[in-house]
Structure 1
Amino acid sequence: MPTYNGWTVVTMPSWPAPASVQRARVRAAAVVESGFTFQQQVQDWGHSKTELNVTMPPLNEADVAPWITFLEALDGPVNVFQFSSAFVAKYPALHLSGVYFRLRSNSWTQSLGDQRYYGLVFEIREAI
């Protein structure tokens, strides 16, 4: 399997694409505020990372299987992945080209509805 900075690269399923992706840019900066004067001191460390909240469309059992396999293969934050080139091209404003991601934590959420449709939500962060 290919690697990135020593981490195993897991291939993300290309279909179906996520229903929505929320992007947050997290800046490495600290602020200390005086309780007396309310003056602030800001320390900017000059680095940032991208975090995404990914929500999948409702999936039937056949469609959810490769996604569950993918999420399990990520092994929490241990392994990394990239979005497909088609997804990156469709959403250029997200600036995902060439960026590797990993799960933010050891967990992801799966729900099952009345019609045997699954919902998947997972949070990821840039692998730096």
Structure 2
Amino acid sequence: MTDRAHAILEAGTRGFVATRTAAGQAVVHPISVFHREDGLWMNTYLKSAKARNMIRHPAVAVVVVESGDGAPRPPGVLVRGRAELLPEDAEPPPARVEPTYLLPGVTAPVPGDPRWSLDGRRRWFRVPLTDVTLLEAPDAQA
């Protein structure tokens, strides 16, 4: 992974996860993501479409974009991998840096914080950082 891709993952939590429906159609969902050494962590309701899709078809693509307002644009990072549903008692590793951008109403996860569990209705998914691609703006200089 390049230093630039690592910096974007460290600073950004604004993400989009591409999953497959039961019929096999691709669909993209906005989601808050948290970069940790062992992968991207995402937290969502187990009954949500994205959770059901990731359980049914764990091959996903996640795009994390840099902090900022407005429509998401490159630069960003594409992570492809298999989403893993973590055990109910899984707690995210603590954040190493406070993200500079969070979706409205979202705070960085703190281990043991009940807001990230809601009695088991919300669960953590993790996508390993095995296939990482830096997405640069079309006019970016190499």
Please classify the TM superposition score into its range, dividing by the shorter chain length.
Answer: 0.3 to 0.5
Length-normalised TM-score, structure 1? 0.39
Length-normalised TM-score, structure 2? 0.36
From the CA coordinates, give the structure whose radius of gyration is larger.
1
